[in-house]
Amino acid sequence: MRPSLVIVADRHIWHADSAFGALPGFRVDLRLVEHDGITNRLVRDADILLVRSSTRVDGALLDGSRVRFVATATIGDDHIDRALLAARGIAFASAAGSSTGSVVEYMTAALLHLEHHHGVRLDGAVLGVVGVGRIGTQVARRAEGLGMRVLANDPPRALRGDDGFDWQPLPVLLEQADLLTLHTPLVRDGAHPTLHLIDEAALARFSGRVVLNAARGAVVDNAALLGWLEQDDTRLAVLDCWEGEPAVSRALLAHPQVVVATPHIAGHSLDGKAANTQFVYDALCRFLGIEGGWRMERELPPVAPIPWRCGGGDARAELACMVERLYPIGRDVDACRDLLRLEEPEAFARGFIRLRRHYPVRRAWHLQRLVAPDANSRLRRLATAAGLVLEREG
Q: Does 183 qualify as catalytic in the annotation? A: no
Tell whether omega for the bond before 246 is within 30 degrees of 0, i.e. cis. yes
Kindly report the backbone phi and psi dihedral angles of residue 264, in degrees, each rounded to the nearest multiple of 5, phi listed first.
60, 55
Q: Does 245 qualify as catalytic in the annotation? A: yes
Separation between Cα atoms, residue 33 and residue 51, nearest integer Å = 10
> Catalytic residue among 245, 316, 356, 363, which?
245
Radius of gyration of the chain (CA): 22
> Catalytic residue among 15, 196, 216, 363, which?
216
> Catalytic residue among 52, 183, 264, 356, which?
264
Q: Where are the alpha helices (DSSP H) in 76-220?
A: 82-87, 100-118, 134-145, 155-160, 170-176, 200-205
**What's the residue count for the chain?**
394
Q: Does 216 qualify as catalytic in the annotation? A: yes
Separation between Cα atoms, residue 99 and residue 363, nearest integer Å = 12
Q: Is 103 exposed, middle or buried (0-12, 13-18, 19+ CB in 10 A)?
A: buried
At 27, is the secondary structure helix, strand, or coil? strand
Nearest one of 392, 127, 75 to 240, comparing CA atoms = 75
For the packed helices 345-357 and 329-337, what is the interaxial angle rounded to 10 degrees?
A: 160
Catalytically annotated residues = 216, 245, 264
